[in-house]
Structure 1
């Protein structure tokens, strides 16, 4: 008899004995089940630090398989103690206290420190008819500490880090995407596992999730001790993050849209001629031709006569190409015909509304475009099979999933009655992007392991990090406020466990800049946005109304051009750091964009800062989010904005406590816990490195894999002990999952000024057997910015064995 069978019999014995003794609960595997005030309550440990809570009206039954949670409960040791009306479950990490009179639940640390509690009488079940199915509108309220900061809830364009005193109508949109989850500065998180439209309300009285549809209340409480720990718990529940290819971390150019094969190939050629690094080009919509053939996944547009030749030319220039794919199909496409016959198309209005491209849409000629049922596994396979046959077979490198929420226009309540494979559209509305993105990931993984899946998606939901996806913030309108709002949008999403995010550099729409690129204020905004983009998981320029290629902003020697070029090259110099950080995301549940609460939770001054963040563990990034170098000037009858660089301006920067900070550009050393001013000429974004950091600097290249990392500059930033692991593999494919990769760990002893380069661990085909490490101890004007170093402190010939260096 195995241990699991013994455990099951013991659990049954305890359950029966409790019932015989008149105990008010039943012990189940990993938890208990009871009834309080006509509500069934189930408390189940998933791990010693993660607890699932289920509640439903007595007498009702349901079956639920989570779309987001893929982890199974681990066998967890816990005790049960009853004192009066309180039943306490205790694991080695978390206590759960159930009030047997009111039914409310409290969560505490193992030592009894209060973390979160449900509000007394804070539960609601209201009968609801969901397209003929009898169900409930469900809600649960919680009580947070006064002044307690919380984060997450997906991505919103409101510029807030701390999500207290918020009211959010959580339904997926173009620029606002939602996850019913929050993370507390106290080191716990809560995931409300429901996919229907949900109202989140936080006020001084309570914090509430209320969802339109649910057979039950279902949520997970996670205690991680700190923000990183909670993110790790969320990933444990909903899926780990696969590695993206190295080339995805280079620079990407796009526009709405390249209108011909010659144009898109010409852009790559121009970058190569200029010597400006580029790794990717993106083809947006309408390569398929007219709207009746919307998303045909074929180059039916006569301006793209030889698609295979086009892809080959781009690859020959060592660039990659991804392409726009939608979740909807025009009535004359092959996909529409197949899906429609099988009843796998949804019936609400989506983009485009008209069969013509005229604006506003001509509704006398409706497009007939319909969204496919991404909840249906067969429909997802059909989608991938067409994508594979018509685009992946050409060598397309990745997928730009536009309208992946999807677009839902002229919304009517009856639209939500539309039936999907999993029930009403209302029931599963917010999980559409998860199912859509997941279908493409699984389709490509089943087809090939030679090329890592890379998906750029406009929308997301809990668990999407497991699908090789990078979310962008939607079609934002260019403005200084929009730039600032991107920072908190990306950080809050990262705190939801989804680490890969980016925005349209420069903003998608230029409606506030009628002179477009001729407006000096916009040119300044674009430059600041590209500086921010250099420190995002993906660096991608995109937009409509005006093209954004670097040469649209002048030529070498022009102030704006040179500033853009500088940050593209800076991005490439940091690729060894960025790729190693991506390994930390995959292997150790790390985060690339880190809200300050992740590293400085004890610094109250840092908790609500919405314009600074850590990029990996080393860099404090402080984007400039206000204009400094444009002024109004009268020219003829017009008042226009012109550039004025006659005076250097400055920006205010807060340096968090508990460490020292070194100016990346000058090497100056500052004590944390203070606000300083940093001079910010147009080519300088405030950038500080935490004391104790070790940062590898890569070679000057035109694309990510042009040169091997055989002469890496290793910058050591003094002020604290430090550690950094350099990760390398084949840069693409899934061999790393078979252990084909290597790591080299650098350790810095600040007191002794010793740098230890550890023995190389692991190996992979093509690995460097011998290399140089060019070591520099950063100081004032030494090892700073992108300045060449005349003489390094040490040059180490490294062949894989441990080396100790005295600096």
Structure 2
């Protein structure tokens, strides 16, 4: 069969294969195949670019007409491809990609030279129905390369880096942000376009431990021995009973606890033996709050803490032998009030299947995903944003330091904190007004309690006069008595189940309210209008979108969570469970830009979804704990979030939920020493994430409340804060690149060192931009840590200039005041002066630190800093090149312009080649050359 071209809109082609008719239709960038096989009725490929393919598969008579919530670019004008019949189906070719479709509907992907990338393995449609809507449970499996590593999936808290062979359940929850995208070291990505609860890897939910034969402490079969003891009265036991499940994970299942247990002083253990009915690796998941330890055969699997009201998860695996018992002990201190605990497991699957790339979703009409390939992992991210939208350049002030606490209770408290920063000359750009500024009974009114906030416009005016910005917390939550609630409700835009069930929150005696339906376009417009009228007019600069999962009732069961947001304007909540935060941010972004298209939008949201970067949004990692293990988990969580295509991420530096021992710690106590060291180490790490932000519950998080000026904690926090500001030319360039180059700021080592397989599983080191490698210290009293140096021309210690080799691990000193930090040989690092806020000295000299060892380049990006003129091309780029052979630095001709651009600037050039001490924390460097730059090329010999 010859190649067919588009004629008069479309062309059908029919051929006979094995006695069965099959056909395809080609129209613009789409090829539709009439398959009629066991796994699919119709298959459609949409070529968005030469490297991006959208795949849709349906078992219905036609494809789902509902538009994607995440797809911005449909690629309708792309036509540079061909389709031809192949031996066992069809072959679609672009300049860079070959896509083969079999007669039964499986799709395989190849590079232009014919080398295989990945291929579909199996596709499943299981009919289901919710609220009278017929749909399918969906699964797509791929044969993926054995040697690859996989990253992405959003932000999760189990301290996992490489998801190859692992499982992750994708739903939104406080501290958990699910994004159905994975990127491979084989330089491809798969974006799964479904909004329901989704599972990566094994499609089965974790099952209760009664899947094992259970034996109590005495060896009796039937369950584990559950002992409910009393911490304060050692000889008192509330209850001892046999339990075949440990399932106390939500507000419903905690009702199964024995009556009369005082959880404020309880110690509970489950002990006995497990016997499996098959051999292999069982994957366990423990859902925990409070202090939790678990042993298998006496070996400690984990020891963790999380505040009672906000559980987390721990994962571990156990190799089981059929018929052989393994001893288990779970010890739990609930840490007060209603608390949550659960233990579940997944039985083994075939190892090849476990290694496959697989997405399962609970509800959808069609299978819909995007395959994208690139020459490197950055190109894959760029393709992701081609589909889902560009990331904006965040305002320059947002790249500075953010001070927050839970919470400034009065206008004067907030202002006094900012005044103290300025008085002490601690750099700061942003301060935050957290929740509960409203009258107690008026959540959602957007009004201020005038006893505590008497003149909010005067407050924002003073903040602005002090060269800072202010962000305010705005929830999608409304008490039923507020006028804002009534405005939504009369249009059918409130989720009514919480009202009908009279669900009360935790404020005072409890108030009844619910969340608005962000899936309704009119509701999004109304949400912004209410914010605009009550808050934007008062001078607020940024929006904190808390509880955007949506968290209508914390710790509700999964089913009740769906009930509470059902139905959405688009359909059952089961189908649209995961995309609320995306829709919420979309409404605010579009609303503000419609009112004011000059000032950049800034949204901080606790949840997110694919495409969130298109709406001026940053995600933070939620209400994490103040523990070393929580700090460590944020490293891999932040890296994987960034490698999910969203470049802006942050966390509560120091952790949000505080162990009680820190709340009461006295001067000189070990607890206070640890508290200060934890904050110091976390602050060092937080300096090198896209958004630099401190927040948390009491004790107060301002540096002067953490430690006195003479203390090493205070000193290191101040020094790293100043370093962040000196690095602003570098950092703001990275922000500019997120738009001009689709860049990723916080980078897993595999992004820059893809061929070095030693980096694939490293989850506690990362690159911050192209030059700086960060190795946070995440254990108490640790004064050295192992650092792996990826394959490169070498690495320079950021504090001494000492050069290290590559392709090896070394034990690196990490004194209290310093976190291991390295600069890659072959780097140009632009550094500015010491400043108190980001736009303080726009004309100041910039020092170019040239780290020799191989050729280097850096594109210095600048724009006005707060407006959207960069979208019109009003920004500048200065390309700076280092030639290692010629020992020559070329500062290129300035490209572009903007209205307030600095016309002339001094560049100070410092050559770092291992022969001089260069300390980023103490910029008293010997300058090699000084040049005055006026926009034309300058060549400097060193």
TM-score by length of 2: 0.79
Q: How far apart, CA to CA, are the structure 2 residues paired with 1:118 and 1:337? A: 49
Q: Mark the CA change 1:785 to 1:616 in structure 2 (over 3 Å): closer, same or farther.
A: same
Superposed counterparts of 1:581-600, under 5 Å: 581-600=734-753
1:274 aligns with 2:427: no
Q: Give the CA deviation at 1:319.
A: 1.0
Q: How far apart, CA to CA, are the structure 2 residues paired with 1:271 and 1:298? A: 28
Q: How far apart, CA to CA, are the structure 1 residues paired with 2:600 and 2:590? A: 11
Deviations 1:275-308 (A, max 9, x none): 1111110010000121x31132121352111111
Q: How far apart, CA to CA, are the structure 2 residues paired with 1:738 and 1:153? A: 33
Q: Give the CA deviation at 1:736.
A: 1.7
Match of 2:562 among 413, 416, 422: 416
1:339 aligns with 2:488: yes
Deviations 1:487-510 (A, max 9, x none): 111111111110000110000011
Q: How far apart, CA to CA, are the structure 2 residues paired with 1:267 and 1:427? A: 45
**Which residue pairs with 2:617 in the alignment?**
469
Superposed counterparts of 1:725-764, under 5 Å: 725-764=859-898
Match of 1:28 among 1, 26, 29: 26
Q: How far apart, CA to CA, are the structure 1 residues paired with 2:819 and 2:64? A: 55
Deviations 1:361-403 (A, max 9, x none): xxxx552111100011111111101111111111101001101
**Residue segments in structure 2 that go unaligned for 5+ positions in a row:** 203-350, 667-671
Q: Mark the CA change 1:227 to 1:285 in structure 2 (over 3 Å): closer, same or farther.
A: same
1:304 aligns with 2:302: no
**Which residue pairs with 2:900 in the alignment?**
766
**Which residue pairs with 1:401 in the alignment?**
545
- Contact 1:96–1:105 (CA under 8 A) maintained in structure 2: yes
Which has the larger displacement, 695-704 or 142-151? 142-151
- Contact 1:748–1:756 (CA under 8 A) maintained in structure 2: yes
Superposed counterparts of 1:179-198, under 5 Å: 179-198=179-198
Higher helix proportion (structure 1 or 2): 1
Which has the larger displacement, 616-625 or 760-769? 760-769
**Which residue pairs with 1:85 in the alignment?**
88
Local SS of the residue matching 1:247 = helix
- Contact 2:619–2:650 (CA under 8 A) maintained in structure 1: yes
Local SS of the residue matching 2:140 = strand
Local SS of the residue matching 1:430 = coil
- Contact 1:348–1:415 (CA under 8 A) maintained in structure 2: no
Q: Mark the CA change 1:18 to 1:512 in structure 2 (over 3 Å): closer, same or farther.
A: farther
Match of 1:210 among 343, 360, 367: 360
Q: Mark the CA change 1:777 to 1:343 in structure 2 (over 3 Å): closer, same or farther.
A: same
Local SS of the residue matching 1:220 = strand
Q: How far apart, CA to CA, are the structure 1 residues paired with 2:843 and 2:130? A: 58
Superposed counterparts of 1:383-532, under 5 Å: 383-409=527-553, 410-411=556-557, 413=559, 416=562, 418-511=566-659, 513-515=661-663, 518=666, 519-532=672-685
**Which residue pairs with 1:661 in the alignment?**
795
Local SS of the residue matching 1:591 = coil
- Contact 1:479–1:512 (CA under 8 A) maintained in structure 2: no
Q: How far apart, CA to CA, are the structure 2 residues paired with 1:756 and 1:352? A: 68
Q: Mark the CA change 1:131 to 1:651 in structure 2 (over 3 Å): closer, same or farther.
A: same
Deviations 1:684-703 (A, max 9, x none): 11111111111111111111
- Which structure 1 residue ranges, 4+ long, deviate > 6 Å from structure 2? 19-23
Superposed counterparts of 1:313-352, under 5 Å: 313-349=462-498
Q: How far apart, CA to CA, are the structure 2 residues paired with 1:245 and 1:87? A: 48
Superposed counterparts of 1:151-190, under 5 Å: 151-190=151-190
Q: Give the CA deviation at 1:113.
A: 1.4
**Which residue pairs with 2:388 in the alignment?**
238
**Which residue pairs with 2:929 in the alignment?**
794
Q: Mark the CA change 1:461 to 1:96 in structure 2 (over 3 Å): closer, same or farther.
A: same
- Contact 2:662–2:675 (CA under 8 A) maintained in structure 1: no
Q: Give the CA deviation at 1:64.
A: 2.4
Q: Give the CA deviation at 1:761.
A: 1.7
Local SS of the residue matching 1:118 = strand
**Which residue pairs with 1:141 in the alignment?**
141
Q: Mark the CA change 1:143 to 1:277 in structure 2 (over 3 Å): closer, same or farther.
A: same
Higher strand proportion (structure 1 or 2): 2
Q: Mark the CA change 1:356 to 1:58 in structure 2 (over 3 Å): closer, same or farther.
A: closer
Q: How far apart, CA to CA, are the structure 1 residues paired with 2:561 and 2:844? A: 58
**Which residue pairs with 1:783 in the alignment?**
918
**Which residue pairs with 1:65 in the alignment?**
67
**Residue segments in structure 1 that go unaligned for 5+ positions in a row:** 1-5, 359-364, 630-648
Local SS of the residue matching 2:137 = strand
Q: How far apart, CA to CA, are the structure 1 residues paired with 2:510 and 2:923? A: 60
CA RMSD of aligned residues (A): 2.1
**Which residue pairs with 2:57 in the alignment?**
55
Q: Give the CA deviation at 1:536.
A: 0.6
Q: How far apart, CA to CA, are the structure 1 residues paired with 2:715 and 2:10? A: 72
Q: Mark the CA change 1:413 to 1:555 in structure 2 (over 3 Å): closer, same or farther.
A: closer
Q: How far apart, CA to CA, are the structure 2 residues paired with 1:427 and 1:658? A: 46
**Which residue pairs with 1:640 in the alignment?**
none
Q: How far apart, CA to CA, are the structure 1 residues paired with 2:692 and 2:561? A: 37
Q: How far apart, CA to CA, are the structure 2 residues paired with 1:58 and 1:468? A: 37
Deviations 1:714-759 (A, max 9, x none): 1111001111111112111112222222221111001111001111
**Which residue pairs with 1:106 in the alignment?**
108
Q: Mark the CA change 1:431 to 1:58 in structure 2 (over 3 Å): closer, same or farther.
A: closer
Q: Mark the CA change 1:415 to 1:615 in structure 2 (over 3 Å): closer, same or farther.
A: closer
Which has the larger displacement, 437-446 or 206-215? 206-215
Q: Mark the CA change 1:197 to 1:412 in structure 2 (over 3 Å): closer, same or farther.
A: closer
Q: Give the CA deviation at 1:137.
A: 1.5
Q: Give the CA deviation at 1:792.
A: 1.2
Local SS of the residue matching 1:481 = helix
**Which residue pairs with 2:519 in the alignment?**
375
- Contact 1:516–1:545 (CA under 8 A) maintained in structure 2: no
Q: How far apart, CA to CA, are the structure 1 residues paired with 2:778 and 2:385? A: 32
- Contact 2:182–2:189 (CA under 8 A) maintained in structure 1: yes
- Contact 2:421–2:428 (CA under 8 A) maintained in structure 1: yes
Deviations 1:650-709 (A, max 9, x none): 211101013311111100111211111221111111111111111111111111111124
- Contact 1:661–1:669 (CA under 8 A) maintained in structure 2: yes
Q: How far apart, CA to CA, are the structure 2 residues paired with 1:110 and 1:356? A: 59
Q: How far apart, CA to CA, are the structure 2 residues paired with 1:457 and 1:80? A: 44
Local SS of the residue matching 1:241 = coil
Q: Mark the CA change 1:307 to 1:515 in structure 2 (over 3 Å): closer, same or farther.
A: closer
Q: How far apart, CA to CA, are the structure 1 residues paired with 2:161 and 2:148? A: 13
Local SS of the residue matching 2:639 = helix
Q: Give the CA deviation at 1:34.
A: 2.2
Deviations 1:548-569 (A, max 9, x none): 1010123322211101101100
**Which residue pairs with 1:637 in the alignment?**
none
Q: Give the CA deviation at 1:86.
A: 3.6
Q: Give the CA deviation at 1:253.
A: 0.5
Local SS of the residue matching 1:424 = coil
- Contact 1:710–1:770 (CA under 8 A) maintained in structure 2: no
- Contact 1:699–1:709 (CA under 8 A) maintained in structure 2: no
Q: Give the CA deviation at 1:795.
A: 0.7
Q: Mark the CA change 1:61 to 1:247 in structure 2 (over 3 Å): closer, same or farther.
A: closer
